[in-house]
């Protein structure tokens, strides 16, 4: 057990997976010698050699396309896309190839690969370093989509993702790489070393894909969140005093619908949070599922608190980000509904 | 700037359209035997001219001549002939089956059988092809069961892909045939990735990437060249230039370059251009590239110059966009005829044995078809189950899909 | 007024737009000399010259990327992607460029372009000629997304899309190109000439983006549908006798929420239909919106009847397609709920 | 196959890493004046060698020599010097402003000022550049107001893009500067599309596409070459090879090719390679390409060989991946120093006037900065409104966005 930032936990997950399985390879833009622009792969090339961890030309298409071929060969590539905003050139390889290879070949060929990408805003990255494209992956049959909210889960989920036999999209909320940012951007940053989930077991362990985690028990309303928004939800609940039950979904596909249903049936109210734009965001799926599964238990409509339907602006970042003030307002609104 | 004239857009058009007289002025064919055969460790820069020539082995009299001759003996050439004849006859039967409504869709190889049949023989078991939909010769030449191909074409109860995939989009890891994607070009970079994986593991197996002339315009082609060039991946990069991409002639994708082989030059990738209707030349060139790759010398780009004699697919009617008799004017002839003439010239074959061979092959195909049809065809007889539609999306079925399958009643 | 198939109506829309505005250009794979694999652009090159309608190399990225540049110049490109399944190589140019150009340049540059693509299944096209990727566009701020269900609307909507100053994704349900297919695949095909909406006005007219059309008035349940599913909904209502109110959404973004709300408030029940996979499909957004806007009017949960969360299978096409039997079952179920 | 040896993966590495002694053995510099200047209607095939040479005008003594000399007179060269000095000083001030927290992010041009400053002067008003984030010299040389640039850098109340876009991702149609995208390479094919549009309309304006060495690996680069080659678009295809792409050296993207200019060869696109730190050579080569394009002769690919002397961005520390003194070993020198020496040699300039010029430029920049700061900086003073965040997503705000704006309280 040691205290780790999310970056260190992610790096450790790759090291553990590479240590246990020769077939795990890591590559991407700047991930080799330099160790990644967020330092997530630092030291891996030195430790495992340039054969196992190397720099790639700037072609997300090439990175994912090559990874599909490698996976078909029998490797388990874990590749980095430098920012989730830059995944689109690889979108065809993900959607048309990785996601459907098992299905279309009836298991003759498979694509066990992981695509890691820093996502989300909060670093003044503007429209091209802030996006949360999870819904563009959850719509695609054959993909799994994971969004960790803390170092402990990040390591366990990433190891599980690498060991998974299907392609996994692994979105890393970059705003919480170094600490559990709760959306109070005007307050000092807390480091992970002061958060219980900054305690990361050494060696191998997994957090299974498809299981949500209860972050706060409560009776008044269920909050469904993932990534950075888990911490925003906690802050908002504390700020406004609403007795919220906060579920950290961790995996969007497959989704822990049982945990969601159980909680919403208990509280009778539900708020869904994400940073991505509202329309057709993953919150739409959550709201649709919750109203479908818990209709007769719901005392108020499911509310969504999300990014606006605009590109992520630069200067107005904090007006865009669904911070604790907006979430608290929604919490108060829903318990009164 | 007063004297500057208005700009104009050039939209390349083929020399002739329906109604016109077919010409192939831009196919500058080299003499058979005329193009040199460099050592496999040649520097890419030293063979730039070869991207503008056409390597040919079979001359007009059917003799195998020049430095590229000699990679196949008569028995092997005969085997090649049989593969091509089988593929051609198979195509003819399946086209008929499609017209009879036994399958939804078919794509044939008429005129370009030599390419996939010969390349298959130049690689080794364990190597992996990443084919397009027009390389079924790779399966035929590898001895893949024709019945299994038909089972998939008919989407019947024995379809190895359980009805999920389109007809002809085969997959066989055991036969070194990567699952065909309906999306053009995507497999090109995957082949490079597979080859990189082989190199990472210190394996000796190599990969072969396949693409059509038209699809070279797709981005995956570029990614493949970049990655193959950077990591010096053990891969053959095959471009089948059959002159047409549905209704557009190869000049549209080629643009201002004289050849597709030349695309390799900007990447320092050695590039060869070969008569794709010359079975022996195709084999020799593919063998050269395979040896290079296996000797860790990296990728080779090969342009196979051939002609798509048939329609693009069963959904296509080429008479709308090219002269009907274009294939007759095609300067590189018919690959089956040319290899046959060669074998007859060498007294290893005869017109009579050829006719006999055709009949035997047809029998084999008919027998395979009877067997396949016993398992059903697209609209009649046994078929893959609807339940199976939910399988294989993931390694293990996640809860939401299980719920959906139940809702569907399976 | 003349009777037209949807193909003819679409072709006519382009001809009308090209006639009125020199800046309208049409290009794509096989669209020039040949007139498109579905013949939607037939005759345009002959009529307007190769300068205005021409073949493109097989590069969806190139087609859309070039169109963005042309639009920035001042043209109004209307490009064809041969099948919606092949749009992914162009996804980056659509999402990162066309959609955000106006925003990021504060209107200095804009991208008034239309991307037409045949979508949907029902032609035994398997997983690569059957997809309905609308939700992958509705999530992207800056794009409009249109799905016509008949020749009359197809022409009017396409002209409106070409004249619109923003990028429009125009999905053409190929199964209804030649007739109002209602999902009864075992019955003879009806041609458009026998359908009232096969009557297409000559010359210029528009169907404004953002307005739904009432296809059937009813009191028991609101059905939200678009494209082919409109006809399936009509058949299902007829088959099972449920007095459904059927709204043809026509435009998904911007959405006619007023019409939806008014109808659901009246009927108290809502079913959402689409062919795309369920999870994170556009139906999720509709369900989320409806439960949010009409919570206190709903007597049953919003139901979604959609394609399954699998790739579109070839042989099992009719098991995948959400046909009139499934829709009728849902109608009966919801009115009893 | 028993004697086949295991394959290995080649991962290209730069000659030297931190701690090592910088070398640039692979930059084979030609003599100034040594490379011929072909007529603009030359066939691509006839100048293949020029993709492997380096066109240089300024020799070691600062003389302008050879066939490419003479496109700028002394007054114009002085103007160029002033542009480069302005850009360098501007960068220095803005780097400082970033460290002071007045902006979130900055990217500088140190060492490669000649490229964008000289190319700008080779085109005409009305032509359109599709730049990356490292061509602010295009704006400076066009006389775009420095204050306006700073307003955007500070995301203040006068930011022309209303705070929506990142600092330095400028946009100015009026100054022929297309909106910069944060996504690499996307603008390359757009430039070709813009050029095609100009040709479609019978216009006389041309486009210039810009990309870095690293980003040439992206698919849009390929699409641009294909489309430019096919439609013979009136476009300059500029590749700025500054040796680095964040932490990866140019050999990673270049792969087995000796140069990036060679990428044009497979497309039949004439390609030139030029000393990017030689203002006069850059101007001459760009002028040649612009004339070609405007004469309807189609695209030209130009590789500018230069060196990114500074960090990639304010988020980067290059000492982690390259020797600190690498710029000192860079064989092509400093573009400002070289042009200055030329002008002094021609007695059109002096050390003293240079110092004076620096001071004047700094004054101008400080004045601009004061003016800009009066409108606010990222975290203090006036700022773009949150209301504005909802504007400009569409031409007219759709109802759902209006609802959201109301919900947000604006
Ligand atoms: C990404 C993508 N775009 C478009 C298509 C539609 N399409 C199928 S085959 C084809 C022509 C391909 O021509 P070519 O590459 O020359 O191969 P050939 O058919 O001649 O063997 C096109 C445009 C597709 N399958 N995938
Ligand atoms: C599509 C995309 N992928 C990755 C990035 C991240 N990125 C920004 S700059 C850069 C390096 C670019 O290098 P180069 O093209 O040589 O340009 P230079 O910075 O040297 O001017 C990278 C990888 C990006 N902006 N866009
Ligand atoms: Mg072809
Ligand atoms: Mg660079």
Give the span between the Cα atoms of B126 and C269, in whole angstroms: 59
Whether the CB of B130 is below 8 Å from some CB of chain A: the reply is yes
Give the span between the Cα atoms of D158 and D385, in whole angstroms: 11
CB B109 near ligand 1, within 6 Å: no
pLDDT band of B1, cuts 50, 70, 90: very low
- CA of A70 vs chain B CAs: smallest distance (Å): 5
Which of C129, C152, C231, C274 is an active site residue? Answer: C129
Residue owning the nearest CA to atom 6 of ligand 1: C82
Residue A275, φ and ψ in degrees, nearest 5: -85, -25
A185 Cα: distance to centroid of ligand 2 (angstroms): 28
Q: Which residue of B has its CA nearest to D43?
A: B256
Q: Is residue B19 part of a domain?
A: no
Q: Which residue has the tokens 């026509």?
A: C250
Give the span between the Cα atoms of C211 and C202, in whole angstroms: 22
Q: Is residue D29 part of a domain?
A: no
What integer pLDDT is reported at residue D275 of this predicted model? 98
Mean pLDDT of D120-130: 98
The CATH class, in words, for A213-336 is alpha beta
Count CB-CB contacts under 10 A for residue C277: 26
Which residues lie across from A224 on neighbouring strands?
A247, A272
Active site residue A152: no
Closest by CA to A298, choosing from C294, C293, C295, C261, is C295
Q: Which residues of D touch B1 (CB under 8 A)?
A: 124, 204
Residue D210, φ and ψ in degrees, nearest 5: -130, 140
| Range(s) of the domain holding residue B258 | 44-313+322-379
Q: Is residue D119 part of a domain?
A: yes
Whether B2 shows a pLDDT value over 80: the answer reads no
Cβ <8 Å between B262 and D269:
no
Q: Which residues of B touch D266 (CB under 8 A)?
A: 257, 262-267
Length reported for chain B: 410
- Domain range annotation of chain C: 2-200, 213-336
Q: What is the DSSP string of B35-72?
A: S----TT--GGGGGGGGTS-B--B-TTS-B-STT--SS
Digitized pLDDT (tens) for each residue of chain A, 337 residues in all = 899 999 999 999 999 999 999 999 999 999 999 999 999 999 999 999 999 999 999 999 999 999 999 999 999 999 999 999 999 999 999 999 999 999 999 999 999 999 999 999 999 999 999 999 999 999 999 999 999 999 999 999 999 999 999 999 999 999 999 999 999 999 998 999 999 999 999 999 999 999 999 999 999 999 999 999 999 999 999 999 999 999 999 999 999 999 999 999 999 999 999 999 999 999 999 999 999 999 999 999 999 999 999 999 999 999 999 999 999 999 999 999 8
C56 Cα: distance to centroid of ligand 3 (angstroms): 14
Whether the CB of D189 is below 8 Å from some CB of chain C: the reply is yes
Ligand index nearest the alpha carbon of residue B116: 1
Give the span between the Cα atoms of A142 and A150, in whole angstroms: 26
Give me the residue from A61, A125, A308 closest to D390, CB to CB.
Answer: A308
Give me the residue from A88, A310, A314 closest to D155, CB to CB.
Answer: A314
Give the span between the Cα atoms of B136 and B277, in whole angstroms: 16
Helix H or strand E encompassing C293: helix C282-294
D12 Cα: distance to centroid of ligand 4 (angstroms): 16
What integer pLDDT is reported at residue D25 of this predicted model? 77
Mean pLDDT of chain A: 98
Domain count, chain D: 1
Whether B375 shows a pLDDT value over 80: the answer reads yes
Q: Is residue B220 part of a domain?
A: yes
> What is residue B176's three-state secondary structure?
coil
Q: Which residues of A touch D164 (CB under 8 A)?
A: 126-127, 311, 313-316
Give me the residue from D171, D200, D393 closest to C105, CB to CB.
Answer: D171
Mean pLDDT of chain B: 96
Cβ <8 Å between B256 and D10:
no
Cβ <8 Å between C34 and B252:
no
Give the span between the Cα atoms of D116 and D90, in whole angstroms: 15
What integer pLDDT is reported at residue C189 of this predicted model? 86
Whether the CB of C72 is below 8 Å from some CB of chain D: the reply is yes
What integer pLDDT is reported at residue A111 of this predicted model? 98
Task: Count Cα atoms within 13 angstroms, Cβ side, for A115.
Answer: 35
The CATH code that applies to domain C2-200 is 3.40.50.970
Paired tokens of B360: 């035997």
CB C58 near ligand 1, within 6 Å: yes
User: What does the H/E/C string look like for chain D?
Assistant: CCCCCCCCCCCCCCCCCCCCCCCCCCCCCCCCCCCCCCCCCCCHHHHHHHHCCCECCECCCCCECCCCCCCCCHHHHHHHHHHHHHHHHHHHHHHHHHHCCCCCCCCCCCCCHHHHHHHHHHCCCCCEEECCCCCCHHHHHHCCCHHHHHHHHCCCCCCCCCCCCCCCCCCECCCCECCCCCCCCHHHHHHHHHHHHHHHCCCCCCEEEEEECHHHHCHHHHHHHHHHHHHCCCEEEEEEECCEECCEEHHHHHCCCCCCHHHHHHHCCCEEEEECCCHHHHHHHHHHHHHHHHCCCCCEEEEEECCCCCCCCCCCCHHHCCCCCHHHHCCCCCHHHHHHHHHHHCCCCCHHHHHHHHHHHHHHHHHHHHHHHHCCECCECCCCCCHHHHCCCCCCCCHHHHHHHHHHCC
Ligand 2 atom with minimal separation from the D242 CA: 20
Residues C286 and C294 sit within 8 Å (Cβ to Cβ)? no
User: Mutation test of ligand 2: which of A82, A83, A90, A133 has the most ligand atoms closer than 8 Å to its C-beta?
Assistant: A82
What integer pLDDT is reported at residue A337 of this predicted model? 85
Mean pLDDT of D246-254: 97
What percent of chain D lies above the pLDDT cut of 90?
96
Whether the CB of B224 is below 8 Å from some CB of chain A: the reply is yes
Whether the CB of B162 is below 8 Å from some CB of chain A: the reply is yes
Could you read off the pLDDT of B200-236 as tens digits, one per residue? 999 999 999 999 999 999 999 999 999 999 999 999 9
Whether D2 shows a pLDDT value over 70: the answer reads no
pLDDT band of D163, cuts 50, 70, 90: very high
Q: What is the DSSP string of C94-139?
A: IIIIITTHHHHTTTSS----EEEEEE---SS-GGGS----THHHHT
Digitized pLDDT (tens) for each residue of chain C, 337 residues in all = 899 999 999 999 999 999 999 999 999 999 999 999 999 999 999 999 999 999 999 999 999 999 999 999 999 999 999 999 999 999 999 999 999 999 999 999 999 999 999 999 999 999 999 999 999 999 999 999 999 999 999 999 999 999 999 999 999 999 999 999 999 999 998 999 999 999 999 999 999 999 999 999 999 999 999 999 999 999 999 999 999 999 999 999 999 999 999 999 999 999 999 999 999 999 999 999 999 999 999 999 999 999 999 999 999 999 999 999 999 999 999 999 8
Could you read off the pLDDT of A57-87 as tens digits, one per residue? 999 999 999 999 999 999 999 999 999 999 9
Could you read off the pLDDT of D58-95 as tens digits, one per residue? 999 999 999 999 999 999 999 999 999 999 999 999 99
Which residues lie across from C272 on neighbouring strands?
C224, C304
Residues B81 and B340 sit within 8 Å (Cβ to Cβ)? yes
User: What does the H/E/C string look like for chain A?
Assistant: CEECCHHHHHHHHHHHHHHHCCCEEEEECCCCCCCCCCCCCCCHHHHHCCCCEEECCCCHHHHHHHHHHHHHHCCEEEEECCCHHHCHHHHHHHHHHHCCHHHHCCCCCCCCCEEEEEECCCCCCHHHCCCCCCHHHHCCCCCEEECCCCHHHHHHHHHHHHHCCCCEEEEEEHHHCCCCCCCCCCCCCCCHHHCHHHEECCCCCCCCCCCCEEEECCCCEEEEECCHHHHHHHHHHHHHCCCEEEEECCEEECCCHHHHHHHHHHHCCEEEEEEEECCCCHHHHHHHHHHHHHHHHCCCCCEEEEECCCCCCCCCHHHHCCCHHHHHHHHHHHHHC
Q: Which residue has the tokens 């007009």?
A: B60
Cβ <8 Å between B255 and D7:
no
Whether B159 shows a pLDDT value over 70: the answer reads yes
Whether the CB of B156 is below 8 Å from some CB of chain A: the reply is no
**Is the ipTM reported for this complex over the cut 0.85?**
yes
Cβ <8 Å between B393 and C311:
yes
B215 Cα: distance to centroid of ligand 1 (angstroms): 6
Domain at D64, CATH number: 3.40.50.970
Interface list for A 247-266 with C (CB within 8 A): 253
* Start-end of H helices in B161-294: 186-200, 219-231, 250-254, 279-294
Could you read off the pLDDT of B70-84 as tens digits, one per residue? 999 999 999 999 999
A38 Cα: distance to centroid of ligand 2 (angstroms): 15
């Amino acid at each position: 057990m040691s205290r780790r930032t999310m970056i260190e936990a992610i790096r450790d997950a790759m090291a553990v997976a590479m240590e246990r399985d020769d077939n795990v390879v890591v590559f991407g833009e700047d991930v080799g010698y330099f160790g990644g622009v967020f330092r997530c792969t630092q030291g891996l090339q030195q430790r495992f050699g340039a054969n196992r961890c190397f720099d790639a030309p700037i072609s997300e298409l090439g990175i994912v396309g090559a990874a599909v071929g490698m996976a078909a060969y029998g490797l388990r590539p874990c590749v980095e896309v430098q920012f989730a905003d830059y995944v689109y050139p690889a979108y065809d390889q993900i959607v048309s190839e990785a996601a459907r290879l098992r299905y279309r070949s009836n298991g003759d060929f498979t694509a066990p690969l992981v695509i890691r990408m820093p996502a989300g805003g909060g670093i003044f990255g503007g429209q091209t370093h802030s996006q949360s494209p999870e819904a563009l992956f959850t719509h695609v049959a054959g993909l799994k989509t994971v969004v960790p909210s803390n170092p402990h889960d990040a390591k366990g989920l990433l190891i599980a993702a690498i060991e998974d036999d299907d392609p996994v999209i692994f979105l890393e909320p970059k705003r919480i790489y170094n600490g559990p940012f709760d959306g109070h951007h005007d307050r000092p940053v807390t480091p992970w070393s002061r958060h219980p989930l900054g305690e990361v077991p050494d060696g191998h362990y997994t957090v299974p894909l498809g299981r949500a985690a209860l972050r706060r028990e409560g009776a008044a309303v269920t909050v469904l969140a993932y990534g950075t928004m888990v911490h925003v939800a906690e802050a908002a609940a504390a700020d406004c005093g609403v007795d919220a039950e906060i579920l950290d979904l961790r995996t969007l596909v497959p989704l822990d619908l049982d945990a969601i249903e159980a909680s919403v049936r208990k509280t009778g109210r539900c708020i869904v949070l994400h940073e991505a734009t509202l329309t057709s965001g993953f919150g739409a799926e959550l709201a649709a599922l919750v109203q479908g599964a818990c209709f007769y238990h719901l005392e108020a409509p499911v509310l969504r608190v999300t990014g606006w339907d605009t590109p992520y602006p630069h200067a107005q970042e904090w007006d865009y980000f669904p911070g604790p003030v907006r979430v608290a307002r929604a919490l108060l609104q829903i318990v009164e509904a | 700037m007063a004297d500057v004239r208005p700009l104009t857009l050039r939209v390349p058009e083929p020399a002739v359209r329906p109604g016109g007289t077919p010409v192939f002025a831009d196919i500058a064919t080299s003499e058979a035997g005329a193009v040199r055969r460099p050592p496999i460790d040649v520097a890419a820069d030293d063979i730039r001219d070869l991207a503008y020539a056409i390597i040919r082995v079979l001359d007009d009299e059917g003799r195998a001549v020049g430095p590229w001759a000699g990679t196949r003996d008569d028995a092997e050439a005969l085997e090649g002939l049989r593969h091509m004849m089988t593929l051609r006859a198979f195509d003819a039967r399946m086209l008929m089956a499609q017209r009879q409504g036994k399958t939804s869709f078919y794509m044939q190889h008429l005129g370009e059988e030599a390419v996939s049949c010969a390349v298959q023989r130049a690689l080794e078991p364990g190597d992996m092809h990443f084919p397009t939909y027009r390389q079924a010769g790779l399966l035929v030449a590898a001895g893949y069961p024709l019945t299994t191909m038909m089972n998939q074409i008919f989407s019947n109860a024995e379809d190895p892909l359980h009805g999920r995939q389109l007809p002809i989009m085969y997959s066989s890891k055991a036969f070194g045939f990567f699952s065909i994607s309906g999306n053009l070009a995507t497999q090109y970079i995957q082949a490079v990735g597979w080859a990189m994986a082989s190199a990472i593991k210190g394996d000796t197996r190599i990969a072969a990437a396949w693409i059509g002339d038209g699809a070279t315009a797709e981005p995956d082609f570029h990614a493949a060249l970049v990655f193959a060039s950077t990591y010096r991946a053990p891969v053959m990069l095959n471009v089948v230039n059959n002159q047409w991409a549905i209704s557009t002639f190869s000049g549209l994708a080629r643009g201002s370059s004289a050849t597709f082989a030349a695309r390799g030059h900007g990447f320092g990738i050695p590039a060869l251009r070969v008569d794709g209707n010359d079975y022996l030349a195709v084999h020799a060139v593919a063998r050269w590239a395979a040896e290079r790759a296996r000797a860790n010398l990296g990728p080779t780009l090969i342009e196979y110059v051939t002609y798509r004699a048939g329609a693009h697919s069963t959904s296509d009617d080429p008479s709308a966009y090219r002269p009907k008799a274009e294939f007759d004017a095609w300067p590189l002839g018919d690959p089956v005829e040319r290899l046959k003439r060669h074998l007859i010239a060498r007294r290893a074959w005869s017109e009579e044995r050829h006719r006999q061979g055709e009949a035997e092959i047809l029998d084999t195909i008919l027998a395979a078809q009877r067997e396949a049809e016993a398992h059903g065809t697209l609209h009649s007889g046994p078929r893959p189950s609807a339940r199976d539609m939910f399988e294989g999306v993931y390694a293990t079925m996640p809860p939401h899909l299980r719920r959906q399958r139940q809702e569907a009643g399976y």
